[in-house]
Amino acid sequence: MPALPSGIKNIHLIGICGTGMGALAGMLKASGYEVRGSDRGAYPPMSLWLADRGIDIMPGYKAEHLQWGPDLVIVGNVARRDNPEAVEALRLGLASISFPEAIRAFFLKGKRPLVVTGTHGKTTTSAILAWLLESAGLRPGFMIGGVTGNFGSNFKLDDGEVFVIEGDEYDSAYFDKVPKFWHYEPAVATINNVEFDHADIYPNLEEISMVFERFARMLPADGQLWVNGDDARAVAATAAAACPVRRFGMGPDNDLRPTHVEHTSTGVIMDLELDGQSLGRFESPMPGEHNVRNFMGALALAMSQGVSPDQARAALPGFTSVKKRQELKGKPSGVWVYDDFAHHPSAVRETLQAIRARHPKARLWAAFEAKSNTSRMAIFQDDYPQAFDGADAVLLSAPWRQKSPEGGRKSIDLNQVVSDLQAMQIDAQLIPDVEDIIQHLAARVKPGDVILGMSGSSFSGFHDRMIAAINALSPQ
């Protein structure tokens, strides 16, 4: 950590409309600081969210945006070395820190950080953990990469001893090229899984495995690390940890595991045991085997902080999931429309399986936008067809960016994905324009059908526009 000036009052954020940066701006504002920021992509919902909190957004990136006199500049990872504001901050001699450095400096001091990591499931697991702690009266603070259903926010500041933080492995800033979660000084943590992702900054799976291995070594000897015991790479990453390492998962060799799992139309019923001793039955409103693991990871961390199984059992049915995680957006004319953040093949597969478990007899339409850097690359060319295997029909939109992905990597061939799906007897089409996908579906869906729109972003408002299109065609 660089030395910070004393008496900080005014803070400027470069890239303020990012999900994490926007939340950080809100946290700083709630803590009494004067907060302003800039962004090239200032649009709803984040622009409105910030405006509601009295936080000014300056459009674009310009040197003059720093003329208002900030004491500190927080640089988001969207800003490159030649960003005009980053350059001007250096010229003016203003202290500049990264997003995770700011979290550590302003919100983790004097707290016990509970850090949730992994390629998938971080946001949901963090949200469950925060809810279990809150329900048990522990008054946790938290910062999560999504708007939680129970709190209606992606952050909360409170006076409890614990702080739940979603540990992202993406890099921090142009001058801080290390994973965000290396900054969080974890007391207790979980590694949900380790897979290849973020192909724009990591060249291979070995590099990603390395950053999780180093994270595991960061936990103190008196800490505790829980790992998904069904994921061999995640387990391997914990080999050099100085603290006790325990496992959760579906397999019989895990310390925390289910002895019975029943998937229902409303979620999952599971019997759990810890170290061979029954913890009893839990009823979860979240469908899918991956959400069983997410809950076990959250439960393990919650119990490490003194939450009893009975307290967790009472809280779980009241959990409301995070926005864009199997979120039911509406049911126009009897058609179920779901929104999900899934974009990695593993997440696509797990999400489809969860929605299928909830609607076992429905016709399931999957609409998918390749927007993340990884999904636009050919790395998972052969994995996506298998990931979509649970759908009855698949509609792919054109990649968000037509230019080649970063690093000169080969772009994914969506026409080949369509051909592979058709060879699997799955109705698949590439329909480049989102509006054309909407009209195609609106003309064909029937009551009882399910539409699952998956994207790592807003999907150009697909879900709300889909609901409106179905309603427009319905007899009044």
**pLDDT one-digit tens code per residue, 336-348:** 999 988 888 888 9
What phi and psi values does residue 464 have, to the nearest 5 degrees? -65, -40
What CATH number does the domain containing 83 carry? 3.40.50.720
- Whether residues 246 and 377 fall in one domain: no
- Whether residues 35 and 83 fall in one domain: yes
Supply the pLDDT for residue 44: 67
Strands (E), 155-312: 155-156, 162-166, 171-173, 176-179, 188-191, 224-228, 245-248, 256-264, 267-274, 277-284
3-state secondary structure of 152: coil
Mean pLDDT by 10 residues, the chain (476 residues): 89 92 94 96 77 92 96 94 96 96 96 96 94 98 89 93 95 92 96 87 90 97 97 96 97 96 90 98 92 96 98 96 85 94 87 90 94 80 91 87 58 91 94 94 95 88 94 78
Supply the pLDDT for residue 436: 95
Q: Is residue 4 part of a domain?
A: no
3-state secondary structure of 222: coil
DSSP string, 17-69: TSHHHHHHHHHHHHTT-EEEEEES---TTHHHHHHHTT-EEEES--GGGGTT-
- Whether residues 174 and 94 fall in one domain: no
Supply the pLDDT for residue 41: 77
- Whether residues 429 and 380 fall in one domain: yes
The amino acid at 246: R
Q: What is the pTM of this model?
A: 0.85
37 HSE (CA, 13 A, CB side):
32
- Whether residues 138 and 261 fall in one domain: yes
Supply the pLDDT for residue 401: 55
* Distance, CA of 320 to CA of 322 (rounded, Å): 7
Q: Domain end: 318, 346, 372, which one?
A: 318
Q: Is residue 3 part of a domain?
A: no
Q: Is residue 271 part of a domain?
A: yes
Question: What would the two tokens of residue 413 be?
Answer: 């061939």
Q: Is residue 121 part of a domain?
A: yes
Supply the pLDDT for residue 475: 67
Q: Domain end: 40, 66, 101, which one?
A: 101
Q: Is residue 2 part of a domain?
A: no
Supply the pLDDT for residue 404: 52
Q: Domain end: 75, 101, 127, which one?
A: 101
- Whether residues 97 and 122 fall in one domain: no
Domain range for residue 30? 10-101
- Whether residues 69 and 114 fall in one domain: no
Question: What would the two tokens of residue 153 be?
Answer: 């926010």
153 HSE (CA, 13 A, CB side):
17
Q: Number of structural domains, the chain?
A: 3
Neighbours of 82 (CB within 10 A): 9
- Whether residues 275 and 177 fall in one domain: yes
Q: Is residue 1 part of a domain?
A: no
* Distance, CA of 127 to CA of 321 (rounded, Å): 7
Asked whether 302 and 136 are in contact (CB, 8 A), the reply is: yes
Asked whether 254 and 278 are in contact (CB, 8 A), the reply is: no
Asked whether 429 and 420 are in contact (CB, 8 A), the reply is: no
Element spanning 296, H or E: helix 289-304
Q: Is residue 5 part of a domain?
A: no
- Whether residues 334 and 297 fall in one domain: no
- Whether residues 30 and 138 fall in one domain: no
Residue with tokens 């008054």: 139
* Distance, CA of 304 to CA of 306 (rounded, Å): 6
- Whether residues 428 and 371 fall in one domain: yes
Question: What would the two tokens of residue 324 be?
Answer: 């864009």
Q: Is residue 184 part of a domain?
A: yes
What CATH number does the domain containing 206 carry? 3.40.1190.10
- Whether residues 367 and 458 fall in one domain: yes
